[in-house]
Structure 1
Amino acid sequence: MSTFDARLQSHDLSSSPPFVVKRLQDGFANNLSEKWARVNEQSPMLERLLRKSEKPSEDFSRNWHFKMSPLCKSFVSGDMTGKWCIFVPRDNVDAAWDKIKDTLERNQLLCAKVSTVLPSMAHGNIHVICVYTDNWANAQDLAHVRHVLRTLGFTEELGYKRDVDTRSGRIGPGEWYLRM
């Protein structure tokens, strides 16, 4: 006998509406118990899907992980902000994100975010790490951040995209403000 059935049998149904008593008598409780048992069997999978993880490759609970440097008290995307975009396969995203987080902790970058499993599933298991700057017109800052990313091992060509272009939906040819 399931826990549900035991709890059900211990209740006085005399004050219950007639349709409830009828359903219970017709085996509704047994059917519900079977469904609940199936949910319990699947709970490890459900638990994994709902669990937060510090690893982007395992986190199904949200779309993005965000991190700001200790000196950055707040960051709001605006007309002058933008980001370097690093595309990373799932097998490498956790290590890449750890490098970015460590660099943020040392105040060498402003802030960043990384996609989790949820959006990357729609993109062939490719994650994106966005490393933000607060002024896309500041060429010296863009070059400095790109240099920091190169020292971390991100030596392939990266694209820099202005947030104003992201909000306007600019994709495809001409999507990148800068490529280095």
Structure 2
Amino acid sequence: MRECYQPSPGCYVYSADVDTETAQTDHRYSPPGRHTPSLEQTRPWVWARACTIASPADGHPWIGKWLWFVPLSQLDDAWANVRAAVETDRLGFAAKAGTLSNHRGFTDDTRRPICIYTPDWRDVPEVERTLTRLRALGVKDTLRYKRDTDTENGRYGPGAASYICPAGTTTLVITHRTRAALDHYQQARAQARHTADKRRTLKPC
């Protein structure tokens, strides 16, 4: 059943242009068993990494990810699709999928998350680019974007999302909390530039 979403008060809505570059993958692609979420018995996650896109250092404070909650019956095919796109540098720098042995308190145990990472949640154009690539891959569900630091700090549930994309669209809904953080970031950058320019002006010849 298609999920409908109405932006809540305090959300700012932006529409991303659909990426015209093709991002199709072969749906017959079959990953090795060690990469298949339904066959993994020992690890809670299976991972994919981009071939040439540099990954931020572990613990980088700005990393975030798009979250796609996939029915178990579609998990392996969905992961094969995402993994192929990541490993050919057509999506984020990394992705992971929850395995059947992953029972980390999900409210719906008939689904598992697939996470697609971007290096900086403050980089709205890159967040949008990854979103449009996901839509081009055929992902039609509602998607939510979350900062890694929120996960590490135990922030879960609907209020944890930084961005939301309603089902079947490329509309980026920026939550009030994220808009305030982005405004603060832009103001800090402007102040830093102003200070640097002032120092250059006052520097003796």
TM-score for the superposition, normalised by structure 1: 0.66
State the AA in 2 paired with 1:56.
P
Q: Deviations over 1:86-112 (max 9, x none)?
A: 001111010001111111122112110
Question: Structure 1: which 5+ residue stretches go unaligned?
Answer: 1-51
Residue of structure 2 in register with 1:142 after alignment: 127
Is 1:171 the equivalent of 2:152?
no
Displacement of 1:78 after TM fit?
A: 2.4
Q: Deviations over 1:21-62 (max 9, x none)?
A: xxxxxxxxxxxxxxxxxxxxxxxxxxxxxxx73310121121
Contact 2:43–2:101 at 8 Å: present in 1 too? Answer: yes
The alignment's C-alpha RMSD in Å is 1.8
Is 1:95 the equivalent of 2:77?
yes
Residue of structure 2 in register with 1:104 after alignment: 86
Which runs of structure 1 show a deviation greater than 4 angstroms over 4 or more consecutive aligned residues? none
1:156/1:104 Cα in 2 relative to 1: closer, same or farther (>3 Å)?
A: same
C-alpha separation in 2, matches of 1:68 and 1:118: 21
Higher Rg: 1
Displacement of 1:171 after TM fit?
A: 1.4
Out of 105, 113, 123, which is 1:128 matched to?
Answer: 113
1:91/1:133 Cα in 2 relative to 1: closer, same or farther (>3 Å)?
A: same
Residue of structure 2 in register with 1:118 after alignment: 101
C-alpha separation in 2, matches of 1:60 and 1:133: 27
C-alpha separation in 2, matches of 1:120 and 1:154: 23
| Larger fraction in helix | 1
Question: Structure 2: which 5+ residue stretches go unaligned?
Answer: 1-32, 166-205
Out of 68, 78, 95, which is 2:49 matched to?
Answer: 68
State the AA in 2 paired with 1:106.
T
State the AA in 1 paired with 2:70.
V
C-alpha separation in 1, matches of 2:158 and 2:113: 19
Equivalent pairs counted in the alignment come to: 129
TM-score for the superposition, normalised by structure 2: 0.59
Displacement of 1:153 after TM fit?
A: 1.1
Contact 1:120–1:126 at 8 Å: present in 2 too? Answer: no
Higher relative contact order at CA 8 Å, sep ≥6: structure 1 or structure 2?
2
Q: Deviations over 1:112-139 (max 9, x none)?
A: 0001111148641311100000000000
State the AA in 2 paired with 1:167.
E
Residue of structure 1 in register with 2:60 after alignment: 78
1:73/1:173 Cα in 2 relative to 1: closer, same or farther (>3 Å)?
A: closer
C-alpha separation in 2, matches of 1:121 and 1:144: 29
